[in-house]
Amino acid sequence: MRPVSALRGLPSIYGNTYIRLSICIGAAMITPPDVFKCLADETRARATLLIASLGELCVCELMCALGDSQPKISRHLAQLRSNGMLLDRRQGQWVYYRLNPALPAWVHEMLQVTLQANSQWLADNTLRLKCMDDRPVREAACC
């Protein structure tokens, strides 16, 4: 099997070229059922609302806030990312998650209304996060 010239220069593992694909749902493509299916699970709902409230969180912060294991948190974040709700960025050993800015305005508004009406539902999670020792330090984005 010959390598495709368009793939030259991409990273490889054991001689096989790989590409990490990220799916980003455009504003016109996401529908209310897509959003509400993503938020139907309590872990995903809490994680999404915490991220909406605080702007950006890493897996370890969500583990502390939600009291769940790394595999469970990562699995739910991957689902939210693959459905276009979240975007991620890597900073050293940390992976930070934030709301996808391409989400329609109605999604952002719905999350803000939900946050305002349900602050007590997230109070324990928010308190655990505030009490977390050794939270990772975010570097300012250069761009």
- Positive or negative, the CA dihedral 119, 121, 122, 124 is positive
* Bridge-based pairing state of the strands 57-58 and 16-17: unpaired
Q: Which domains does the chain have, with CATH numbers?
A: 28-130 (1.10.10.10)
| C-alpha to C-alpha distance for 12 and 142, rounded to whole angstroms | 28
- Give the per-residue pLDDT at 72: 96
At 86 the three-state DSSP class reads: strand
- Give the per-residue pLDDT at 110: 97
* pLDDT in 10s for each residue of the chain, 143 residues: 344 444 455 444 445 443 333 344 444 478 999 999 999 999 999 999 999 999 999 999 999 999 999 999 999 999 999 999 999 999 888 899 999 999 999 999 999 999 999 999 999 999 999 998 877 776 655 44
- Give the per-residue pLDDT at 140: 56
Distances in whole angstroms, Cα of residue 7 to Cα of each of 4, 11, 15, 72, 127: 5, 9, 12, 33, 47
Q: What is the DSSP letter of 23?
A: -
- Region at 134 (left for phi over 0; alpha for psi -120 to 50; beta for the rest): left
The alpha-helical segments, DSSP class H, found in the chain are 32-38, 42-54, 59-66, 70-82, 105-117, 123-130
